[in-house]
Amino acid sequence: MAATPIAVITGASSGIGAATARTLAAAGFRVVLTARRKDRIEALATEITEAGHQATAYPLDVTDRAAVDEFATAFRSLAVLVNNAGGALGADPVATGDPADWRQMYETNVIGTLNVTQALLPALTASGDGTVVILSSTAALSSYEGGGGYVAAKHGEHVLAETLRLEIVGTPVRVIEVAPGMVRTEEFATTRFRGDTEKAAKVYAGVDAPLTAEDVADTIGWAVTRPSHVNIDLLVVRPRAQASNTKVHRTL
């Protein structure tokens, strides 16, 4: 009897990460949930287990390389890694942006993804059929005013995915990048605007049906369950109301 394939999801405490964990668990993976908030991922692991699936919670800060390396020792073989941990801080112009915000976004989105991918790549390769998913953003592909720091970090993540794919071609590991546009989750915009819920709500004002975390999770679930020889290099997903990062239809 074949062992249950394992999927590691970073940033699984809320939003797209939590939704992806539920989706992959329902698809037959044993999901390993990582995030800094221990209570959140433990509650999610309990929810998934009570639904009849397999889940384990492991508190982890992806920017802590020593902790990531210790986490990786638990895996001899791994089917899927979903690099979801990341996020945005602030919406200031380049001229006045806080370098500390830029540094934190780069550390979380780029270095965090690098840390976990490097640490788990041997186990992904050992599986004979591994998949690395990098959750970037449409910000990884084009810029917009007030997004300089986040755009720079997501461009870095996009290039990481492209370069890794070139470097490991011929190995049994595929690299998938999923780049969502406007997604309304419970925390993304609120975190970006440091708890200002009014400012966060304006991001989605008048937009008919922004994407949900479940929409993106469904996309990830589809991509990782394609036949092994099929690689979804880059999948851009936006709501119908959004044509680009700067062109959104609003009814106000």
Catalytic residue set: 150
User: For the chain, what percentages of helix, strand and coil (3-state, to nearest 5) are there?
Assistant: 45, 20, 40
Question: What span, in angstroms and rounded, lies between the C-alpha atoms of 243 and 99?
Answer: 30
Q: Which residues contact 44 (CB under 8 A, 6 or more apart)?
A: 12, 13, 18, 21, 22, 33, 55, 57
| Two tokens, residue 38 | 């221990």
Burial of 227 per CB tally in 10 Å (0-12, 13-18, 19+): exposed
| Long-range contacts from 142-146, C-beta under 8 angstroms, 24+ separation | 142/244, 142/245, 143/245, 144/245, 144/246, 145/93, 145/246, 146/91, 146/92, 146/93
Q: Is 31 within 8 Å of 48 (Cβ atoms)?
A: yes
* Residue 192 identity (one-letter amino acid): R
